[in-house]
């Protein structure tokens, strides 16, 4: 015991946060005790409320405290008949920010990773198959991360889509906008050559 029991407990509990070890936890504890007591009390309330009430959307599987999330419940989203498959809720937010997509999402909450025991059922592919079987969608956009696991997951899902006669597409890989060719890695550059498009 280095400090008083309550303070020790707080410093200990703060270490569940990602990237926070004993020293940072101590710094955080003193910081909020000295300067942000009221804010920290509201943080405590929203933490507890979020942890006990937030579950998964029954349709798209994203994190939400509602039964059906706001995007799935929006009738304008249904007319597009496009489903975009992403790995996590943060990806939904990133795509929403582009204002380029007005269909619906399906959130895997991870990717296929057989070595870690994460198979098709763990990422909700049974639920995705049901959605595809409903006939509500014409196209499936596979927007998983451009990593080995993300690619494998995308190709696995593309096969399922084929079974249900739904068109599957993969987001384009290539040179990031604003980047310089010189600094782009070889794999990205070869993707950008293979995926070249005719100008008008």
> Under the rule (CB under 8 A), what is the footprint of a second copy?
1-7, 9-10, 13-14, 16-18, 26-34, 36-54, 63-66, 69-70, 88-90, 93, 96-97, 109
Q: Minimum CB separation from a second copy for residue 100, in Å?
A: 16
Complex with a second copy: residue 69 or 83, whichever CB lies closer: 69
Complex with a second copy: residue 96 or 130, whichever CB lies closer: 96
Token pair belonging to 79: 């007319």
Q: Minimum CB separation from a second copy for residue 42, in Å?
A: 6
Q: Minimum CB separation from a second copy for residue 10, in Å?
A: 4
Q: Minimum CB separation from a second copy for residue 99, in Å?
A: 13
Residue with tokens 């707080």: 10
H or E element, residue 170:
strand 167-170
Complex with a second copy: residue 16 or 115, whichever CB lies closer: 16
Q: Minimum CB separation from a second copy for residue 185, in Å?
A: 23
Token pair belonging to 48: 């507890």
H or E element, residue 192:
helix 186-194
Complex with a second copy: residue 90 or 172, whichever CB lies closer: 90
Q: Minimum CB separation from a second copy for residue 102, in Å?
A: 16
H or E element, residue 156:
helix 148-163
H or E element, residue 84:
strand 82-86
DSSP E strands in the chain: the ranges are 55-56, 63-64, 82-86, 104-107, 139-142, 167-170
Complex with a second copy: residue 5 or 186, whichever CB lies closer: 5
Output the CA torsion 143→68→132→166 (10° steps).
Answer: -40
Complex with a second copy: residue 101 or 164, whichever CB lies closer: 101
Token pair belonging to 20: 């926070």
Say if residues 101 and 140 touch (Cβ distance below 8 Å): no
């Amino acid at each position: 015991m280095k400090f008083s029991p309550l303070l020790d407990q707080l410093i200990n509990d703060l270490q569940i946060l990602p990237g926070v070890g004993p020293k940072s936890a101590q710094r955080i504890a003193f910081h909020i005790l000295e300067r942000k007591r009221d804010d920290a009390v509201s943080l405590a309330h929203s933490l507890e409320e979020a942890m006990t009430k937030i579950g998964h959307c029954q349709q798209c599987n994203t994190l939400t405290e509602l039964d059906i999330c706001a995007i799935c419940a929006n009738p304008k989203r249904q007319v597009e008949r496009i489903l975009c498959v992403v790995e996590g809720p943060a990806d939904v937010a990133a795509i929403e920010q582009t204002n380029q997509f007005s269909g619906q999402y399906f959130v895997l909450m991870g990717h296929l990773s057989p070595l870690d025991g994460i198979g098709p059922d763990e990422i909700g592919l049974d639920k995705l198959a049901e959605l595809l079987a409903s006939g509500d969608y014409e196209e499936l956009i596979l927007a998983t991360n451009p990593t080995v696991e993300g690619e494998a997951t995308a190709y696995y899902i593309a096969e399922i889509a084929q079974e249900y006669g739904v068109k599957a597409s993969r987001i384009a890989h290539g040179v990031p906008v604003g980047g310089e060719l010189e600094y782009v890695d070889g794999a990205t550059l070869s993707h950008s050559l293979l995926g070249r498009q005719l100008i008008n």
